[in-house]
Structure 1
Amino acid sequence: MSSTAPPRGPRRRAGTAAAKVRIVDTVPGRGKRVALTFDDGPDPVHTPRLLDVLDAHAVPAVFFVNGEQVDRYPEVVRRIVGAGHVLGNHSTRHDDMARWPAARVEADLRETRAAIARAVPDAAVPWFRAPYGAWGGTPVVAAGLGMASVGWRLAVTDWEPPGVDELVRRLCDGVTPGAVVLLHDGGGDRSQTVEAVARVVPVLRARRWRFVLPDGGLGRS
């Protein structure tokens, strides 16, 4: 990513249209339940390493993928799905769509869905997340395409890597029951994120946390 590109972290900007459609940021159910989600992939290096970590601990996750990255690395997308994780639509090129007209948003989301279908024809894509968290009217369009919009309760700013120890601290201290957690496997060097997840998952499991999907499903765990 060039130095002139905007940071790929969240900027919450919910418009009036978004308010008409619920943006999921917690998982249903009670107790220590948390959902891990990863944006901006697939990445040819960091996503496979992250998949190794998740597989070792039988943790389900959602990968919100960009269509251009899917076309570049379809084999990584196939591995995500083959490992039992779920895909989300995160736009084609990670553009800010908050002020786009509905027709343009729909065309973009359909383009991403087509890229996913080329990589894994039978994969379900039940969820959408707006780039930068700039929702505008995108949740309404996504709903019309059969996708629920997923936000987050905890973002640890891993798009500006603060060091593994700090990411671990932010995750362990910041997690709350039912939270959807925003992390990144693409869009830059995500080695710190991968290492932090590898360290945090056993800690949270020891504290009796359960890793689920945004709909409350337990996936493989």
Structure 2
Amino acid sequence: MQKDQLFTRRRVLLAGAAAAGSAGTAGIILADSGEGTVKAAAPAPAPGPQARQALKPSAFRLQPLTGYGPPRTKPRKLKVRKEPLMQISDSRRQMMLTFDDGPNPDYTPHILDTLAKYRVRAMFFTCGECVVDNKELLARMADEGHVVGNHTWTHPLLTTLDRGEIRSEMERTSDVIEDAYGERPQWFRAPYGAWNKAAFQLGAKMGMEPMAWTVDTTDWETPGTGTIIDRVESGAAPGVVVLSHDAGGDRSQTVRAIKEWLPYLLDSGYRLTVPRRRT
């Protein structure tokens, strides 16, 4: 794919993939079709047996809308947080799906296919070294309204790096994401969930909010498709942010599992949302 063609595709960003500024209220983002408060809180408790019973099939599916606009050239400086955001508003049964470590040509397209089938958007925290050879996958994420975040260049343990090394990992990744996706990322996730003061400070300076998760599928352990499905379904609750992976190893179990747990969540009445872009 020629670079100009890639640039044209990534301009087709969906309006629902855009986040709201914090205008005086820290931790507030606008989710699709409504506001969602991101909280730095302990993981939400798993619902009881009755809560896990599937409800009537939900008619709600995210409807993509297209929009055009120039890429951001100067990031907004944000408040420096002391801990990452871990969940969204627990109102209206909203949840958020996130995928780390990609993109990977063997697994990411299948996950995108499943998300497209159910008209669901998600967040992808990508590694710069993976983006370089798979820019067309980020262009597709832009076309389909997914939000792309920064997961560093080489997925290092940030707590072992000095400030300059952390800055390089983050800046290089934001640069390549902007080139492939069409705008710089506004969200950052530390590899292994290992945050430190420098990461929070640098992320804020680069206009990125730190996001963690509340439910870990532990698919990185390849525990079996059934186990991954059970962890998502048993952990489902309003406000939950689900962590999965689309790279970093054999993710075939993840690809199979999402085909089962995604329709379950939707039929149980959950709204799967993404943050909107800050303007």
TM-score between the two structures when normalised by the length of structure 2: 0.67
* Pairs aligned (count): 197
Is the Cα–Cα contact under 8 Å of residues 155 and 182 in structure 1 kept in the other structure?
A: yes
**What is the rounded CA distance, in whole Å, between the counterparts of 1:155 and 1:124 in structure 2?**
26
1:210 and 2:271 correspond: yes
What is the root-mean-square deviation of aligned Cα atoms in Å?
Answer: 1.7
For residue 185 of structure 1, what is the aligned residue in structure 2?
Answer: 246
Deviation string 1:8-37 (CA, Å, 9 cap, x unpaired) is xxxxxxxxxxx9434111112513211000
Structure 1 residues 126-205: aligned runs within 5 Å: 126-137=186-197, 138-205=199-266
Deviation (angstroms), 1:100: 2.4
**What is the rounded CA distance, in whole Å, between the counterparts of 2:85 and 2:147 in structure 1?**
16
Q: Mind listing any 5+ residue stretches in structure 1 that lack a counterpart?
A: 1-18
SS for the counterpart of 2:223 is coil
**What is the rounded CA distance, in whole Å, between the counterparts of 2:83 and 2:231 in structure 1?**
27
Deviation string 1:136-192 (CA, Å, 9 cap, x unpaired) is 121221011100000000002100111111111111001221011110001111111
**What is the rounded CA distance, in whole Å, between the counterparts of 2:276 and 2:151 in structure 1?**
22
- TM superposition outliers: structure 1 runs of 4+ over 6 Å: none
**What is the rounded CA distance, in whole Å, between the counterparts of 2:241 and 2:163 in structure 1?**
27
For residue 116 of structure 1, what is the aligned residue in structure 2?
Answer: 177
Q: Residue type matched to 2:193 in 1?
A: G
Q: Mind listing any 5+ residue stretches in structure 2 that lack a counterpart?
A: 1-79
Deviation (angstroms), 1:104: 2.2
Q: Residue type matched to 1:136 in 2?
A: N
Is the Cα–Cα contact under 8 Å of residues 84 and 210 in structure 2 kept in the other structure?
A: yes
Is the Cα–Cα contact under 8 Å of residues 211 and 218 in structure 1 kept in the other structure?
A: no
| Higher Rg | 2
**What is the rounded CA distance, in whole Å, between the counterparts of 1:55 and 1:22 in structure 2?**
32
Structure 1 residues 1-221: aligned runs within 5 Å: 20-120=81-181, 122-137=182-197, 138-213=199-274, 217=275
* CA distance 1:78–1:67, change in 2 (3 Å): same
Is the Cα–Cα contact under 8 Å of residues 177 and 184 in structure 2 kept in the other structure?
A: no
**What is the rounded CA distance, in whole Å, between the counterparts of 2:235 and 2:89 in structure 1?**
19
Question: Percentage identity across aligned positions?
Answer: 37
* CA distance 1:218–1:163, change in 2 (3 Å): farther
Is the Cα–Cα contact under 8 Å of residues 212 and 218 in structure 1 kept in the other structure?
A: no
For residue 7 of structure 1, what is the aligned residue in structure 2?
Answer: none
Deviation (angstroms), 1:72: 1.5
